[in-house]
Chains A and B, each alone.
Chain A
């Protein structure tokens, strides 16, 4: 059982957490301007690196807050967990 360090609760068992995919996908600034290919890329294509990946995780069975994690997909080791970046365009 892997321990994941929640930025607020500290190290907890991985079963308490929910994986939320890549953390590096901004919503398009001007969605109406996107063609089909660009729209498909936003909807379907995500980074799939072999190595460090920046991801969203939620401490679903704990404080229920989201955070950003950097995890090495070769080893599944968490390199860092930090408060979620507040740069959501509105």
Chain B
């Protein structure tokens, strides 16, 4: 007597099919017209706009880890353009306008939510600086208003605006068009578009050196073989110094840990973004419900993607003072990224002593908000060999000429 048994099925066979990959994982070719070093937000956005605006698609994006797994996965996703100086307003407002149309451009949801940002003032000097910044923003076409403590409480009822805290809230600047977005979706949207255009996104491919010929870089040495290049665009954020040291280009960058943290998932309690430079914390509530908080860098330099607990402790003290309702929230996890900080808290973008190497670095604690604007302008810079007008003020030469773009007031603590 024989019995028939059904063939064994692998575990999980009854589950739906895996979704399609959003991009190929190609083997690197031996040569490209453009090689972008760094597969984070800036590198991927640059790749997208190279294809979209300039028709340049023989491009590789080299990423030493996995796509968008560095600072793009670690930032706190705040998007705003309320910087003081004309140069900064130009690039950040360009970025904000692109954010406003990015879902349509990428054909991908990015959960961009324009819920506004409050930058709190706690002292007389804070008030003067903040009002000045509001006026400067308006002159540059950036939406901004000055709110007194009562108006702050209307925008965000959970902020403690009473007089009985150590640094009472004296008012705040408010940019209604500021917001948050889902950082992973942003990266995946750019990556998918770049891949569709034929650009090779190459992961686990670390650049270990450069082959130079006079004033040109003719090739990159990588952990996946040598790759010849027409133009190189460096988008390596906290690891830029490692690459520039290989090229012998001195740059005023210091790589610091920048920590952030989230609470467990909570009911919607926080309708906007609140930042406080003086009390040293900033908070938003993500779509899922976790409170997302950050503050300043750890003072010592470090490439370790971890920071000191004392920084988190101070940040929590500030958060609980400003938001008494958070006192019983639990910290779910904290992490750190490596951010490249410049002396004037503005990025370094533009040409280098090498004819075919363009540089994008120094975004410090606030590169995410600039992602589409920077990608647009760096693609232009890469395609034309000279800086896009919006990034021209941010060249490496400003440290010799003295034309610094000092944004410590708008940028120093938090983004």
Interface SS majority for chain B: loop
Q: Are A76 and B252 in contact (CB under 8 A)?
A: no
**In angstroms, how far is the closest chain B Cβ from the Cβ of A71?**
7
Which of B36-44, B212-220, B302-310 forms part of the interface with chain A?
Answer: B302-310
Q: Are A40 and B399 in contact (CB under 8 A)?
A: yes
With A2-B308, A45-B251: A36-B400 Cβ-Cβ less than 8 Å? yes
Does residue B255 face the partner (Cβ distance < 8 Å to A)? Answer: yes
Does residue A75 face the partner (Cβ distance < 8 Å to B)? Answer: yes
With most chain A CB atoms within 10 A of its CB, the pick from B306, B309, B400, B401 is B400
Number of A-B contacts (CB under 8 A): 57
Contacts of A15 in B (CB 8 A): 310
Q: How many residues of B are in contact with the other chain, CB < 8 A?
A: 24
Residue-wise interface mask of A (44-85) relative to B, using a CB-CB cutoff of 8 A (1 in contact, 0 not): 111011100101000000000000000101111000000000
Q: Are B299 and A73 in contact (CB under 8 A)?
A: no
Closest chain B residue to A44 by CB distance? B252
CA distance A50 to B252 in the complex (A): 15
CA distance A49 to B245 in the complex (A): 9
Identify which of A18, A41, A46, A74 contacts B254 (C-beta below 8 A): A46
CA distance A74 to B255 in the complex (A): 11
Interface residues of B (CB under 8 A from A): 239, 241-242, 245, 250-255, 299-304, 306, 308-310, 343, 399-401
19 residue pairs A–B, Cβ–Cβ below 8 Å: A1-B308, A2-B308, A19-B300, A36-B401, A43-B399, A44-B343, A45-B251, A46-B254, A48-B253, A48-B254, A49-B245, A50-B241, A55-B300, A73-B255, A73-B302, A73-B304, A74-B303, A76-B300, A76-B306
